[in-house]
Structure 1
Amino acid sequence: MPQILGKEIGPIGYGLMGLTWRLNAKDVEESIQVMKTALDAGCNFWNGGEFYGTPEYNSLHLLNQYFTKYPEDADKVILSIKGALSHAGGGPDPSPEGIKRSVENCLKVLDGKKKIDLFESARMDKKTPIEDTVKAIDDYVKAGKIGGISLSEVSAATIHRAAKVAKIAACEVELSMFSLDILNNGVAAACAEHNIPIVAYSPLSRGLLTGDIKTPADLAETDMRHHFPRFQGENYAKNLELVQKVEELAREKGCTPAQLAINWVRHLSKRDGNPEIFPIPGATKVDRVLENSKVVELSNGEAAAIYSILKKFEVAGTRYPATHSTFLEG
């Protein structure tokens, strides 16, 4: 079993991003039930964000409500929180002052209902050295206010620099059948060198690999994915070719495309020089959580066959639109 901060976590984690864009009481109760289902299914590593929602209602407010209802679950969950990013689109602020503002706000909203096990600056900027950011978070670790430090969307060089300042407990980066960058740009190797587990977000490539989205028109007009290059026009038509191959492989395996995609990421863990890797799919419905949390074992041959297909496939479109890519290291 993978471990974070010396605690065992399930082989598949859970991302809270999709839950806190809804505000009415009925949806809150449904979201709490989804979270309870995730924990009962063994997904005890939860990833939330200060900016997943609005300043008035985001992941931390929902977590407060969950642990108020289920206080006995607080010690069962390993909670990772991303912060130091503006709700209003102002970009990241990983400066010591930005870290202090964010951590203090997160602690205030949680109100002691649950400890923050990991805190990470959601993105870096060019003005703040990673050493300053890590030291600022480490001050809270030493004070016992948070459990450890995580990194998010950083380069291999940044990982090496950060590891010289303090113990890095995890590194959250995108990894899916559509996003193999970290396997080739030194990030996975750097994490392995420093014994840093990788938290693989978006293992379903924002829903592409579920097979449920046949055309961009299947998305609501307000869906933010319309702004992502891989969901646009000819790019989507091209990317659908890989989705169809994944669907075929899943049928042969006797699982869903989502299960195949998630468990392929999980299979990469501690193989070919990789560190511990565990995926954190998100879901807003109980049935989807139950689907995503199912462990499907892949043989080395099956995994290698999939990787062979992926290396030959040219993904159309970048991971993020240009406005977001400014703050991505690589």
Structure 2
Amino acid sequence: MGQHAAPNSIAGLSVGSTGLGLLSFTRPWARSEYIDAAVVMKAALDQGANFWNGGLHYGTAEANSLHLLKYYFDTYPEDASKVVLSIKGAFDRTTYQPDCSPEAIRASVEEAVGILDGVKKIDIFECARVDPTVPIEISIQALAELVKEGKIGAIGVSEANANTIRRAHAVHPIAAVEIELSLFTPDPLTNGVVDTCHELGIAIVAYGPVARGWLTGELTKLENLPANDMRRRLPRFQPEVFDQNYKLAEAVEAVAKRKGVTVAQVAIAWVRSHGTIPIPGSIRAERVIENCKEVSLSKGDLEELQTIMDTLPIAGQRYGGQHEKLLNQ
């Protein structure tokens, strides 16, 4: 298994030398906490993590990641030109279903642009999921019109399969494809998505590189999760599979200890080795600094990690239920 350099540009936009992004916007920050969140964001940018990913549905209509971004760039206007901003939308936060009709896409972009109010341009906009009721060609054409109007800089797609990516790219160049990729979820390496993106020259943005906390060294038993933690509702964190899934995390931690690094650093390095931009999330500046430290994986390390994945299969779906049906569309 060879290593691929993480891309340093997306559609002409420069990505930091770490090849690392930042996804700190999935948490519904309260307005009173914006100042704390800004500290984390500033730390990320200082470390070279300048690909920032947010969404209109991360939070409420009155306080979501766009409002946090507006606060940040009002506070640090000099940072606007340093950040590559990717925003997801066209997703109903009440039904948790995509609506990628031209009308809904335009309304979503207009909402995002309105919240930002000129403090920062949206460099990439993507529908949060592929809408199974709307042909991808229609959705991409609607986004292409918004690019032409200058409302957004480029187009991305999220959780699309290889065929959908090709169909989308045929309508308008796709700047980035956002997928889940980790040692817990290596599926894009075998289902054609990563190969297709590399072939077409599309940047791959990898969310969940530390597997929702499994690969941080902080989860050893189910009781580590607070009773109200949303992960307790996810299939891979259920009591009947927790111990099985912990085996892989424990094995990766052994690799990290041997190398003198953290398990999260190994997990992120593995994701980067496939030519992607990892976007780990964090609410702590010290964690951001840890995640941004580059770690090299040798051929032997990569082979060992592959053996771990082959011998310690993960139990449970990624989301389960209706959310699972919207993946890899």
Q: Common fold, TM-score beyond 0.5?
A: yes
Structure 1 unmatched ranges of 5 or more? 270-276
Q: 1:207 aligns with which of 210, 213, 228?
A: 213
The 8 Å contact of residues 66 and 116 in structure 2, kept in 1 or not, is answered as yes
The structure, 1 or 2, with the larger RCO (C-alpha pairs under 8 Å, 6+ apart) is 2
Aligned to 1:17: 25
Mapping for residues 251-262 of structure 1, pairs under 5 Å: 251-262=257-268
Secondary structure of residue in 2 paired with 1:74:
helix
Secondary structure of residue in 2 paired with 1:65:
helix
Aligned to 1:310: 309
- Root-mean-square deviation (CA, aligned residues, Å) is 1.2
Aligned to 2:193: 187
The 8 Å contact of residues 18 and 284 in structure 1, kept in 2 or not, is answered as no
- Is 1:86 aligned with 2:92? yes
Aligned to 1:273: none
TM-aligned CA distance change 1:3 to 1:228, over 3 Å: same
Mapping for residues 287-306 of structure 1, pairs under 5 Å: 287-306=286-305
Tell me, in whole angstroms, the C-alpha distance in 2 between the residues paired with 1:252 and 1:2.
Answer: 30
The 8 Å contact of residues 227 and 321 in structure 1, kept in 2 or not, is answered as no
**Offset of residue 110 of structure 1:** 0.4
* Letter in structure 1 aligned against 2:120: K
**TM-score normalised to the size of structure 2?**
0.95
Tell me, in whole angstroms, the C-alpha distance in 2 between the residues paired with 1:18 and 1:156.
Answer: 26
**Offset of residue 88 of structure 1:** 1.0
**Offset of residue 166 of structure 1:** 0.2
Tell me, in whole angstroms, the C-alpha distance in 1 between the residues paired with 2:25 and 2:213.
Answer: 13
- Is 1:143 aligned with 2:149? yes
Structure 2 unmatched ranges of 5 or more? 1-6
**Offset of residue 125 of structure 1:** 2.1
The 8 Å contact of residues 15 and 283 in structure 1, kept in 2 or not, is answered as yes
Aligned to 2:164: 158
**Offset of residue 90 of structure 1:** 4.3
State the percentage of identical aligned residues.
47
Q: 1:239 aligns with which of 235, 245, 250?
A: 245
Tell me, in whole angstroms, the C-alpha distance in 2 between the residues paired with 1:7 and 1:166.
Answer: 17
Q: 1:115 aligns with which of 111, 121, 127?
A: 121
The 8 Å contact of residues 109 and 151 in structure 2, kept in 1 or not, is answered as no
**Offset of residue 308 of structure 1:** 2.5
The 8 Å contact of residues 29 and 64 in structure 2, kept in 1 or not, is answered as no
* Letter in structure 1 aligned against 2:133: K
**Offset of residue 3 of structure 1:** 0.8
Tell me, in whole angstroms, the C-alpha distance in 1 between the residues paired with 2:156 and 2:299.
Answer: 30
Secondary structure of residue in 2 paired with 1:154:
coil
* Letter in structure 1 aligned against 2:312: F
Tell me, in whole angstroms, the C-alpha distance in 1 between the residues paired with 2:190 and 2:178.
Answer: 16
Tell me, in whole angstroms, the C-alpha distance in 1 between the residues paired with 2:323 and 2:223.
Answer: 23
Moved more, 278-287 or 303-312: 303-312
**Offset of residue 227 of structure 1:** 1.0
